[in-house]
Amino acid sequence: MYCRNVSNPFCSLVFRLSLTYALCCFFSMLVVLAICYVFLEASLQRRMHVDMVNEVSEYRSLFELQSLSVLKDVLEKEAISEGIHQVIFRILDGAGNVLVSTDTSFWEEIPAGHEAIQTALSGQQTFMDYQADEGDFSARFLYGAISDQLVLQLGVSLEENHALLRQFRKIFFAATLAFVLCSILAGTYVAKRSLSGVQRVTMAAHHIAAGAWDHRVPLSSYNDEIDELANAFNDMVDRIQVLFRELRDVTDDIAHDLRTPLMRIRGEAEMALRETRDDSLTAVQCGSMLEECDQMLQLINTMLEIAQTEAGTQVIECRPVDLAAIAEDMCELFRPASEDKGVELRCSVEAGMKIAGEPQRLKRLVGQLVDNAVKYTLPGGQVMVRCMREDNHFLLEVEDSGIGIPDTAQEDIFGRFYRVDASRSEPGNGLGLSLVRAISRAFGGDVCVTSEEGKGSTFTVRFPLITGDTVC
Ligand code: ADP
């Protein structure tokens, strides 16, 4: 079965395993019951034949010892005791004439069976099956000689056997149905149980893909194949994490080592600028060199700041901070630039809330979000900064009516150096939001975005509020 949609329950492995299990059980049950049925039918027939043959030889012995009239009485009594609708006895001569007969009123028609009479008189007992033209009456006859000229015709209705087999078929059908239902339930249970391990691995993979790199697949106590898979998966994630760390360390080391020679080049360009005439070519070149150096230093500093914040090595201070006041200050700081661009910047804050953090880094965080909002909003648009309380959390929202972010990029923008193609015309290096996320997480919070292309974006940072004496 090929399925496109895994969330469709009919496409799930649990469903397919249960179905396969139920089908296997159904067919095995069918085979077993069919074999039982065939054996039952054969054994009923065999028993009937033996009984009939025994009865005929019993009456032959009686006829040899007694007269025909005695035999007639015995046969009549026997027919009544077994049921006149069940059994008939007739004594026929070689021409098929009936000399003696028990009550045949319940029997629609009784075959004469001339051939069978002749065969019986030659010493060979013969069975004959009879099926009524209408209705479902059927019977079996045995022709057996009781003397040189006389043949005993014994007829037994097959109705009882048929009723028994019909009853069995009903029981078989009900048993098969119950068995299939039980096997579906058992199959679902077994499939769910055996796949719960795979689900553990899937859940862990989802968590890790969402950024929880420290998450691992929990192991069970069975030490089975799923645990082997989980172990292999965990080892793989450990290895990837180490490689990531090494790669990040190398990048941070390079950034760190570049900063000193860059500062030296900048210093020399500054000195050269001071010693040259303002309108000379050298002054222009030194000026552009200084600008380039400043941009590179800014990039390197941001990279190092992210690395230090993520590693937690430089969270020097951590104290109660009024983030709403910081947000108001940052709005004042960015108001002139936003007015120049023709973007309306508004701020609405709820006062009196404190979070645990470091003012300098929190200023960077708010500044970065407001800067981006103004940068990616076209003239005539609006930017709104809000600070509010939600349960035990402080929410900082920066909403703009700017260009928006495509759905596919909304998680990637928090990665280092990621920039959406549409915004490449604006200055930037793709590090701002990485820093925002690193700072949010360093103080126990997190950041997320909701956005629609062409309509705007809302960045929300959530921090735990300080309760009691808790500080960092
Ligand atoms: P940059 O220096 O490029 O602004 P950021 O890390 O701050 O780097 O942002 C990464 C990318 O996310 C940006 O290049 C831009 O494509 C997108 N982005 C960030 N903020 C917004 C916003 N408010 N509106 C639209 N796009 C944004």
- Looking at the CA of residue 433, tell me the nearest atom of ligand 1: 6
Q: Do 143 and 117 form a contact (C-beta atoms < 8 A)?
A: yes
79-88, 208-217, 323-332, 439-448: range with lowest mean pLDDT = 208-217
Q: Inform me whether the pLDDT recorded for 434 exceeds 90.
A: yes
CB 343 less than 6 A from any atom of ligand 1 = no
302 pocket-lining for ligand 1 (C-beta < 6 Å): no
Ligand 1 close to Cβ of residue 400 (< 6 A): yes
pLDDT in the model for residue 58 = 92
Residue 274: is its pLDDT beyond 80?
A: yes
Q: For ligand 1, is residue 383 a contact (CB within 6 Å)?
A: no
| Residue of 419, 425, 426, 452 best suited for mutating to test ligand 1, as the one with most atoms within 8 Å of CB | 419
Q: Domains for the chain: give ranges and CATH numbers.
A: 15-164 (3.30.450.20), 225-311 (1.10.287), 319-466 (3.30.565.10)
Q: Is 413 in the pocket of ligand 1 (CB under 6 A)?
A: yes
pLDDT above 70: percentage of residues in the chain: 94
**Which pLDDT belongs to residue 1?**
43
pLDDT, tens digit, 9 for 90 and up, residues 95-120: 889 899 998 888 877 877 888 999 99
Instruction: Supply the residue whose CA is at minimum distance from atom 7 of ligand 1.
Output: 432
- For residues 458 and 442, give the distance between their C-alpha atoms in angstroms, rounded to a whole number: 21
CB of 376 shorter than 6 A to ligand 1? yes
Q: Decide whether any atom of ligand 1 lies within 6 Å of the 197 Cβ.
A: no
The 10s digit of each residue's pLDDT in 318-376 is 789 999 999 999 999 999 999 999 999 999 998 888 999 999 999 999 999 999 999 99
- Model pLDDT for residues 156-185, shown as the tens digit of each residue: 988 888 889 999 899 988 988 898 888 888
3-state secondary structure the chain: CCCCCCCCHHHCHHHHHHHHHHHHHHHHHHHHHHHHHHHHHHHHHHHHHHHHHHHHHHHHHHHHHCCHHHHHHHHHHHHHHHCCCCEEEEEECCCCCEEEECCCCCCCCCCCCHHHHHHHHCCCCEEEEEECCCCCCEEEEEEEECCCCCEEEEEEECHHHHHHHHHHHHHHHHHHHHHHHHHHHHHHHHHHHHHHHHHHHHHHHHHHHCCCCCCCCCCCCCCCHHHHHHHHHHHHHHHHHHHHHHHHHHHHHHHHHHHHHHHHHHHHHHHHHHHCCCCCHHHHHHHHHHHHHHHHHHHHHHHHHHHHHHHCCCCCCCEEECHHHHHHHHHHHHHHHHHHHCCEEEEEECCCCCEEECHHHHHHHHHHHHHHHHHCCCCCCEEEEEEEEECCEEEEEEEECCCCCCHHHCCHHHCCCCCCHHHCCCCCCCCHHHHHHHHHHHCCCEEEEEEECCCEEEEEEEEEECCCCCCC
Cβ–ligand 1 contact at 433 (below 6 Å):
yes
pLDDT for the residue numbered 9: 67
How does residue 134 score in pLDDT terms, banded at 50, 70 and 90? low
Atom number in ligand 1 closest to CA 428: 2
Measured from the CB, is residue 372 less than 6 Å from ligand 1?
Answer: yes
Centroid of ligand 1 to alpha carbon of 205 (angstroms): 28
The 10s digit of each residue's pLDDT in 187-202 is 888 888 888 888 889 9
Average pLDDT over residues 40-63: 92
Mean pLDDT of the chain: 88
Q: Given a cut of 90, is residue 132 above it in pLDDT?
A: no
Q: Is 373 in the pocket of ligand 1 (CB under 6 A)?
A: yes
Quote the CA–CA distance of 372 and 369 in Å, as a whole number: 5
Choose between 256 and 34: higher pLDDT.
34
- Write the residue with the smallest CA distance to atom 13 of ligand 1: 419
pTM: 0.55
**pLDDT of the residue at 449:** 96
Distance 457 CA to ligand 1 centre (A): 10
Q: Is the CB of 306 under 6 A from ligand 1?
A: no
Residue with CA closest to ligand 1 atom 12: 413
pLDDT given at position 6: 52
pLDDT of residue 3: 47
Report percent pLDDT > 90 for the chain. Answer: 45
Confidence band for 259, pLDDT divided at 50, 70 and 90: confident
Whether residue 133 has pLDDT greater than 80: no
Whether pLDDT at 154 is above 90: yes
Q: Average the pLDDT over 14-21 and give the result.
A: 85
pLDDT interval class at 90 (50, 70, 90): very high
* Ligand 1 lined by 377 (C-beta under 6 Å): no
